[in-house]
A and B are shown apart, each in its own frame.
Chain A
Amino acid sequence: MYNSRKIIIGLVIFVLVAAFPFFINVGKTAQPLQLSLNTPTINQLEKKECIESADYMRANHMRMLNEWRDQVVREGNTVYTSSSGQKYEMSLENNCFQCHSNKSNFCDSCHTYSQVDPYCWDCHNGTKGAGLKQ
């Protein structure tokens, strides 16, 4: 007894499952991630630079913000010295959002893309100076 039919069905299921991402995406254009830097503040900047390099920020902003929160809330430090020696206020609202005032086209587009759901937004509104959610 060979059970060829069952084996073939099993193998088809295996291929469908194992190569599932290919089947879903084949033919689709992989949309490159679009991060909009088109905000009034950024447009006015001469040197379009964040507080650290863009690569560093992309990979590490979450750790930086987490650290800031602990520093501000627990230690009372409010000043961040960047690797180039510049000093910044450790504040999402008063610092980051000054430039990145476009949450939905900046923060969200990337977060949604890579499916991360930061709990920053549990309190912060994502607009500059708006303060915390009540």
Chain B
Amino acid sequence: MKVWFSLLAVIILALTAWVGVEILHLNTLFGIIIPYTAIAVFIGGFIIRVVRWGKSPVPFCITTTCGQQQSLPWIKQNKIENPTNTWGVIWRMVLEVTLFRSLFRNTKTEKIEDKLVFGSAQWLWFGSLVFHWSMLIILLRHLRFFLNPVPGLIIGLESLDSFLQIGVPLLYITDVLLVAALTYLFLRRVMIPNIKYISQIADYFPVLLLLGIAASGILGRYVYGVDVAAVKELTMSLVSFKPTTSTTIGTIFYIHIFLVSSLAVYFPCSKLMHAGGIFLSPTRNLANNSRIERYINPWNYEVEKHHYSEYEDEFRDKMRKVGLPLEKE
């Protein structure tokens, strides 16, 4: 049900763009107004979400330590998994953000008769790493639509991505990888019973939306043959704030850009904010140095305590009997 609902939502979005452009000819709406709104919502929403997190303090130093602490000088500290200084934290975060270090640890627990068996389970790590890196490269590649002249770095990246020289236009390896990884991430959600059990519309929808974006992009490039020069004229006019529409671009492009806009709007109000959240995660971005330096809780307040004097008052006789020293005889 949740899957079908999400799929339906993506299809409706795609149809909206198709009807809007193909039938109603709302090129200005779909080519200019919606993309502008989407990027504004994306950036504004992202900031609002991060600021909202930032407004709450991190009252305690709750690092999750995943290695040996700094201790006696002859005991080797794990400076990355259990950092005591900023450099260690930076390394830890870099590994986490770029290589998904924690996910790499993943194991699979199986129960065979009366025994538990731990096996390696790196597919999730691999799938997500492939997805995220492909996504990044594809985003960078898209800069060719937003920069004129196109910088050499982007040109190099693009020729690297298409070095297999398959088909016309040349096939991008990341297109294939992205679709494969997304398909894997989707299939594991619907096929592994436990993962299906925890999955929600909020999980299916973004995967399917991304697949929709990839599909419309791929169709535009490889099947329908979108006039890229015209697309670039449109995108350049957008980023230089002198928007013009074009009628020569195929509808598939408008579907693509509408789905992307939908994603941009959806992003800040969804779990996709993990992209920003990971940097703020207190179990990862804090050094485990709270015994070395006092960590300050801004809302630390005085609490009611049971003082020694009250304790002694209650137990004075008993303490005297067993010879314990007393404050007041």
Contact = CB atoms under 8 A, between A and B. Distances in A.
B239 interface: yes
Interface string A32-53: 1100000000000000000000
Interface in A33-80: 33, 55, 58-60, 62-63, 66
B233 to A, nearest CB: 6
Nearest to A109: B229
Given A11-B50, A15-B43, A15-B47, A114 B239 contact: no
B58 A30 contact: no
Given A22-B239, A26-B241, A2 B54 contact: yes
Given A1-B298, A55-B248, A10 B240 contact: no
A26 B241 CA distance: 7
Interface stretch (B7-15, B76-84, B104-112, B140-148): B140-148
Interface residues of B, number: 53
A28 interface: yes
Given A2-B57, A59-B226, A62-B169, A7 B239 contact: no
Interface stretch (B123-131, B150-158, B189-197, B308-316): B150-158
Given A26-B241, A114-B229, A11 B47 contact: yes
Contacts of A30: 233, 236-237, 240, 242, 244
B39 interface: yes
Contacts of A83: none
Contact of A25 (B240, B296, B298): B240
Interface residues of A, number: 39
Interface stretch (A85-93, A96-104, A115-123, A125-133): A115-123
Contact of A3 (B54, B143, B145): B54
Nearest to A27: B240
A63 B50 contact: no
B20 interface: no
Contacts, number: 112
Given A55-B248, A66-B168, A116-B228, A28 B43 contact: no
B296 A1 contact: yes
Contacts of A22: 239, 241
B230 to A, nearest CB: 7
Contacts of B226: 59
Given A1-B296, A33-B233, A58-B248, A21 B280 contact: no
Contacts of B132: none
Nearest to A66: B168
Contacts of B317: none
Contacts of B158: 115
Given A15-B43, A62-B168, A112 B241 contact: no
A26 B226 CA distance: 26
Given A1-B58, A1-B298, A29 B168 contact: no
Contact of B229 (A10, A11, A113): A113
Nearest to B224: A59
10 contacts: A1-B59, A3-B54, A18-B42, A22-B241, A25-B148, A28-B240, A30-B240, A55-B227, A55-B248, A59-B250
Interface of B: 39, 42-43, 46-47, 50-51, 54-55, 57-59, 143-150, 154-155, 158-159, 165, 168-169, 224-233, 236-237, 239-242, 244, 248, 250, 276, 279-280, 295-298
